Amino acid sequence: MRRMVNSGGGQAAPAACALARLGHRVSYAGAVGDDETGRLAGPRLAEFEVDLGGLVVKPGAHSQEAFILVEEGGGERTIVWTRDEACRLEPGDLDRAQIASCRLLHLDGHFVEAGLEAARIARAAGAVVTLDAERVRDGTAELVSLCHVVMGDSGFAQRLTGRDDPMVALRELAAMGPLWAGRTVGERGAQMLADGEFLEHPGFAVEAVDTTGAGDVFHAGMAHAILEGQGPRQALATACALAAISVTALGGRTALPGRAGLIAFLNDRRS
């Protein structure tokens, strides 16, 4: 082992940090235990000026933790993690006013019941709802139907729909309600159906140090693009660019760029 970094993780949390680094006002809702890991979660988000109004502490629960082994010379990783089922966000934990005040609600799909309630509140208030889709649980299909944008990992659409063909699965995913429905495919970029049109971005070639959190940061790029009024094609490029920048240093939150850095990266690749 050459080097070790102890930092904040999660799925929505890195996206929150990335959006805050880009200059957006961001509030985070989630659950932690009252252990040492949980006590560190808030300050690590606050470093990026993320509002902690929705962070709930569950007494006696053990916070989720992960040990990630990163392969030198490519950034691929192996993750060993633990999660206490008592450390979960419930619908009753939600700050309804906080959610109703947002322009965009980004969900990670872990706590489905809380996610469903949050999506309903956000939609009723006129906010855009986006989903970082990985695991399929009871209620996931309903959650998808409440979202405007659903971007899954490479196999989410197939797992949800039961279709083997990725394009057939994406079409069925889009038919469930999202205006934009797509998937990330690692270093090969991302694919998306947007209002019926198939779009694809090949990703950006960078020297990868650590791919931890790249998918989470990709979703931050999509949210940033939506908030900036970008169309789907430009949004894919923005999301792929932000993810590419994020893998150039060890740790999922180490290389998050500001707005100027993201613009410079994209401009360099257009020239």
Residue 5 lies in a domain: no
| pLDDT for res 244 | 96
Question: pLDDT exceeding 70 applies to what percent of the chain?
Answer: 92
**Domain hosting residue 148, numbered range:** 12-26+88-266
Residue 176 lies in a domain: yes
Residue 50 lies in a domain: no
Q: Residue 149 forms beta bridges with which residues?
A: 130, 180
Residue 198 lies in a domain: yes
Residue 1 pLDDT greater than 60, yes or no: no
**In this structure, what CATH number is given to the domain that contains residue 189?**
3.40.1190.20
The rounded mean pLDDT for the chain is 92
Name the pTM for this structure.
Answer: 0.93
List, for residues 144-176, the tens digit of each pLDDT value: 999 999 999 999 999 999 999 999 999 999 999
Do 93 and 59 meet the contact criterion of CB atoms below 8 Å apart?
no
Confidence class for position 252, pLDDT limits 50, 70, 90: confident
CA separation for the pair 67, 128 (Å, rounded): 33
| pLDDT for res 7 | 67
Residue 185 lies in a domain: yes
User: Residues 95, 97, 101, 103: is their CA dihedral positive or negative?
Assistant: positive
| pLDDT for res 81 | 66
Average pLDDT for 191-210:
94
Residue 79 lies in a domain: no
Average pLDDT for 70-84:
69
**Total residue length of the chain:** 271
Residue 119 pLDDT greater than 90, yes or no: yes
Residue 153 lies in a domain: yes
CA separation for the pair 14, 10 (Å, rounded): 7
| pLDDT for res 157 | 98
| pLDDT for res 250 | 84
Domain count, the chain: 1
Residue 125 lies in a domain: yes
| pLDDT for res 159 | 97
Question: pLDDT exceeding 90 applies to what percent of the chain?
Answer: 77
| pLDDT for res 128 | 98
CA separation for the pair 253, 260 (Å, rounded): 17
Sheet of 190-194: strand order equals 104-107, 128-133, 149-152, 180-184, 190-194, 197-201
| pLDDT for res 8 | 67
Q: In sequence order, which residues have a C-beta less than 8 Å from that of residue 131 and are 6 or more positions away?
A: 106, 107, 108, 109, 143, 144, 147, 149, 150, 151, 178
